[in-house]
């Protein structure tokens, strides 16, 4: 089964070997010989192989073919007849490994769907459908009414594929089996998915048309920043660009944030594009993910919509990449290989020679800076499309006001008025749980996590404590563990407590809490929103509510408890808060009725709020960019964060000290801050420290990392810690 290659030229020295990238944290390749005795050839690069490493069996990818470095090589079993990773994708992944200073084997393992990473064969991508047999056609008029009869009637016009049946006819499988037993219907392989009808969209307005005209899927790589207020019709622009891409016979990849990939969005894409739309997200099981990946690899999938890791989809016939909500934090992987899907999408777009469209109502400062410098074309949509008006924003000063569960009288009155007018209300609070702290009023004790430097959050109306950092849970104590007093009080307000207070006060309407606690199951959010429908009601939630499902009847958004975010030390905190506020506010008044936004704060004079409310997001972004430049932070500096952790504080400090010394020895000028304890020094029982590297020149930063990272693996200090390197960190903790 293995490819047989030319016999090596006599006298060429050592025999050729497969140089295999394995998913191990070592910056090197491993040599093997084909187990079947074939001669390695360059055409083997990209094939998966199963090998033994020590006592372990691993699946790796042939990354190179070259002379064996040692004799006595072990054999490797090829898993695919030809390369699985090749061309642009393999080259882009090699680039990613260099950029992240990560072992190629770990990068390739991250890029492959789990089933393929484990060595399972490529799935069968054939589409199956059902059609009536001759006997079925004859019998149809005489069939008794029921599900089999309804299915048979549905197949009268011709075969239908299983995905279409899933969408249209719940419970069809049992009916199909019943027909099959009687010889009336049979399962058949479908030749290519049939194109459906293409739905009509609205006529584009002038700005949308200009943006659509600027994106030329035939003109090679170009990065476009589609910067349009919420509801300005960015999705319409994506749909037009994708339709053009499809008409040219090319594939389109659309990245969306985890929470943005709703059934609503997929339905809109399917209806408007008239071709199957393949979804790739964390809710799929391993087989489904491998299947979607493989249909893309074979060019069968024409439109793929997926979350972060979908950026690794093979695109042999690429025509366009879209990144929706490009500012969204979920595009950055926060463990393992810390890649940024938006940034990697740009790298792939350049390598593929196709346009990349970044869309957002609140673009990241990086993308705005790129647009300002002319690296991205800046396409603006200033107004909401259709009927919708921008919401009116009001800052509610709550200093000295009597608050009820943190809610001011003005806010409660506005909620009542919105409900009475038949609208829906969103109360946004970025803290889940009942209360952030459990405090003893007698002695000042508060419940702390045993394994983290953090308070336990009160849950379940005060009965349970939970650490949001390590997940530890315990029942809340009845009496104070320190003084024995009975004056334990939940301090502060989380979404559970807001829900309780709002339900007590507005008993006539449903109050739904939407946060990670209440919507652990995928689809739970959708079904909760479906039960609410368009009826008056209150949604209480965290940033999960800032995007995703469209709520046309939402007329009031009340934002409470943003004050913590105004004074965070993190250099990105202002940007994140501004994006969140604008995105949440954008949920109000998406349809014909004008929306209202209330921002309740103790700091009505805070510059961030003033700039946002009076100048809008772009005024904020301009001011923030000036500050970033003055402070030497991205996008004016390039950062890398070296993190280390261990059970005790000394090994991380020693490791980072050694790393700092090696950086100094490299002779490359770089700002090195630390080693310092992480902002949360202890988490899940580990003591954490970090070294922040910064340079105004990306090139200098990477030169220093190139010089030092390979040696980190070999340092004796490295053996006593868990360490990781985060290039372009989003969070400095």
Which residues in this chain contact Zn ion in the complex, by CB under 5 A? 440, 442-443, 445, 449, 451-452, 467, 469-470, 472, 480, 482-483, 485
Q: Which of 202, 249, 353, 696 binds ligand ADP (CB under 6 A)?
A: 202
* Interaction between residue 326 and ligand ADP (CB under 6 A): no
Considering beta carbons, is residue 237 or 562 the nearer one to ligand ADP? Answer: 237
Shortest Cβ 97–ligand ADP spacing (Å): 34
Residues numbered 217-236 forming contacts with ligand ADP, rule: CB under 6 A? 228, 230-236
CB hemisphere CA count around 371 (13 angstroms): 21
Residues 360/344, Cβ–Cβ less than 8 Å: no
CA–CA distance, 272 with 37 (Å, rounded to integer) = 53
Asked if 299 is part of the footprint of ligand ADP (rule: CB under 6 A), the reply reads no
Number of residues that bind ligand ADP (CB under 6 A): 15
Scanning the structure block, which residue is given the tokens 């016009």? 157
The binder of 449, among Zn ion, ligand ADP, none, by C-beta within 5 to 8 A per type, is Zn ion
Choose between 433 and 586: whose C-beta lies nearer to ligand ADP.
586
- Looking at beta carbons only, is 386 or 510 nearer to ligand ADP? 386
The C-alpha atoms of residue 732 and residue 695 are separated, in whole angstroms, by: 16
Closest contact distance (angstroms) between CB of 443 and Zn ion is 3
596: alpha, beta or left? (left if phi > 0; alpha if psi -120 to 50):
beta
As given in the structure block, the two tokens for residue 723 are 């360490």
- Residue 615 binds what, of ligand ADP, Zn ion, none (CB under 5 to 8 Å, by partner type)? none
Distance CA 634, CA 729 (A): 10
Residue 230: contacted member of ligand ADP, Zn ion, none (CB under 5 to 8 Å, by partner type) = ligand ADP
At its nearest, how many Å lie between Zn ion and the CB of residue 288?
34
The CA distance from 729 to 338, in Å, is 8
Alpha helix stretches (DSSP H) within 248-299: 263-273, 286-297
Residue 440 CB, nearest approach to Zn ion (Å): 3
Closest CA to 266 of 629, 550, 477: 550
R_g over Cα of the chain: 29
Pairing of strands 356-360, 318-324: parallel
Nearest to 351 by CA among 392, 311, 389: 311
Give the whole-angstrom CA distance, residue 342 versus residue 641: 19
Q: Is the dihedral of CA 110, 114, 120, 125 positive or negative?
A: negative
Crossing angle (nearest 10°) for helices 87-100 and 341-352 = 140
Give the one entry of ligand ADP, Zn ion, none that residue 595 binds, where binding means its C-beta sits below a cut-off of 5 to 8 angstroms depending on kind. Answer: none
Per partner kind, with CB cut-offs from 5 to 8 A, the member of Zn ion, ligand ADP, none near residue 228 is ligand ADP
> C-beta of 272: minimal distance to ligand ADP in Å?
10
User: Are 69 and 75 spatial neighbours (Cβ–Cβ below 8 Å)?
Assistant: no
| Residue 385 interacting with ligand ADP (CB under 6 A) | yes
Q: Work out how close the CB of 467 gets to Zn ion at its nearest, in angstroms, rounded to a whole number.
A: 3
Q: Which of residues 234-253 bind ligand ADP (CB under 6 A)?
A: 234-236
Nearer to Zn ion, 375 or 473 (CB): 473
Q: Using the rule CB under 6 A, is 199 a contact of ligand ADP?
A: no
In the chain, what is the greatest distance between 2 CA atoms, to the nearest angstrom?
91
**Range in contact with ligand ADP (rule: CB under 6 A) among 17-25, 41-49, 199-207, 633-641:** 199-207
Instruction: Name which of 68 and 368 has its Cβ closer to ligand ADP.
Output: 368
Q: Which is nearer to ligand ADP, 90 or 245 (CB)?
A: 245
Closer Cβ to ligand ADP, 175 or 229, answer by number? 229
Closer residue to Zn ion (CB): 440 or 538: 440
- Rounded-to-integer distance, Cα 247 and Cα 304, Å: 16
- Applying CB under 6 A, the residues found at the interface with ligand ADP are 202-205, 208, 228, 230-236, 385-386
């Amino acid at each position: 089964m293995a490819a047989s290659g030319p016999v090596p030229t006599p006298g060429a020295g050592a025999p050729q070997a497969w140089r295999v990238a394995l998913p191990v944290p070592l910056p090197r390749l491993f040599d093997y010989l084909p187990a079947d005795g074939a001669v390695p050839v360059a055409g083997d690069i990209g094939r998966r192989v199963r090998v033994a490493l020590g006592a372990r069996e691993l699946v790796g990818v042939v990354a190179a073919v070259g002379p064996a470095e040692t004799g006595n090589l072990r054999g490797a079993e090829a898993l695919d007849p030809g390369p699985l990773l090749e061309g642009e994708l393999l080259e882009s992944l090699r680039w990613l490994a260099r950029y992240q200073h990560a072992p190629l084997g770990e990068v390739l393992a991250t890029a492959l769907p789990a089933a393929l990473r484990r060595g399972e064969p490529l799935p069968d991508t054939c589409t199956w459908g059902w059609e009536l047999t001759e006997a079925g056609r004859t019998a149809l008029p005489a069939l008794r009414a029921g599900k089999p009869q309804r299915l048979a009637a549905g197949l009268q016009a011709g075969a239908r594929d299983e995905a279409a049946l899933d969408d249209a006819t719940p419970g069809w499988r049992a009916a199909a089996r019943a027909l099959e037993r009687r010889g009336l219907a049979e399962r058949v392989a479908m030749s290519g998915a049939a194109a459906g009808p293409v739905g009509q969209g609205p006529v584009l307005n002038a700005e949308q048309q200009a943006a659509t005209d600027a994106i030329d899927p035939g003109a090679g790589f170009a990065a476009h920043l589609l910067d349009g207020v919420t509801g300005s019709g960015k999705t319409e622009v994506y749909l037009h660009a994708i339709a053009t891409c499809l008409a040219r016979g090319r594939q389109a990849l659309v990245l969306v944030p985890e929470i943005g990939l709703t059934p609503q969005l997929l339905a809109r894409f399917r209806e408007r594009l008239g071709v199957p739309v393949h979804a790739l997200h964390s809710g799929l099981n391993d087989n489904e993910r491998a299947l979607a990946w493989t249909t893309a690899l074979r060019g069968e999938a024409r439109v793929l919509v997926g979350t972060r890791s979908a950026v690794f989809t093979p695109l042999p016939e690429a025509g366009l990449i879209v990144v929706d909500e490009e500012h969204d934090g979920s595009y950055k992987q926060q463990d393992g290989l810390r890649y940024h899907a938006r940034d990697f999408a740009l790298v792939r777009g350049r390598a593929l020679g196709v346009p990349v469209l970044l869309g957002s109502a609140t673009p990241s400062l990086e993308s705005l800076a790129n647009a300002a410098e002319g690296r991205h074309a800046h396409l603006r949509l200033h107004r909401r499309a259709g009927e919708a008006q921008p919401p009116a924003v009001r800052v509610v000063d709550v200093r000295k006001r009597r608050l009820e569960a943190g809610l001011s009288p003005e806010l409660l009155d506005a909620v009542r008025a919105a409900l009475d007018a038949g609208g829906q209300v969103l109360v946004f609070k970025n803290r889940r749980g009942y209360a952030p702290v459990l405090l003893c009023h007698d002695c000042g004790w508060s419940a702390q996590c045993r394994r983290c430097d953090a308070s336990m959050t009160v849950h379940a109306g005060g009965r349970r404590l939970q650490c949001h950092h390590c997940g530890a849970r315990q029942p809340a104590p009845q009496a104070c563990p320190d003084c024995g007093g009975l004056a334990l009080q939940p301090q502060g307000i989380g979404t559970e407590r807001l829900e309780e207070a709002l339900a007590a006060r507005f008993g006539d309407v449903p109050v739904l809490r939407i946060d990670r606690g209440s919507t652990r199951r995928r689809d739970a959010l959708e079904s909760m929103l479906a039960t609410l429908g368009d009826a008056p009601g209150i949604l209480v939630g965290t940033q999960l509510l800032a995007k995703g499902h469209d709520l046309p009847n939402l007329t009031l958004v009340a934002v409470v408890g943003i004050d913590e975010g105004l004074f965070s030390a993190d250099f990105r905190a202002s940007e994140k808060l501004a994006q969140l506020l604008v995105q949440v506010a954008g949920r109000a008044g998406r349809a014909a009725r004008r929306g209202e936004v209330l921002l309740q704060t103790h700091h009505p004079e805070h510059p961030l709020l003033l700039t946002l409310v009076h100048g809008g997001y772009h005024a904020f972004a301009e001011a923030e960019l000036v500050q970033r430049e003055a402070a030497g932070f991205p996008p004016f500096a390039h950062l890398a964060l070296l993190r280390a952790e261990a059970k005790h504080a000394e090994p991380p400090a020693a490791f980072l000290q050694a790393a700092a010394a090696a950086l100094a020895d490299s002779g490359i000028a770089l700002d090195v801050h630390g080693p310092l304890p992480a902002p949360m020094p202890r988490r899940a029982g580990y003591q954490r420290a970090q070294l922040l590297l910064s340079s105004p020149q990306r090139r200098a930063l990477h030169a220093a990392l190139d010089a030092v990272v390979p040696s980190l693996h070999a340092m004796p200090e490295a053996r006593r810690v868990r360490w990781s390197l985060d290039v372009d960190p989003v969070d400095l903790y």
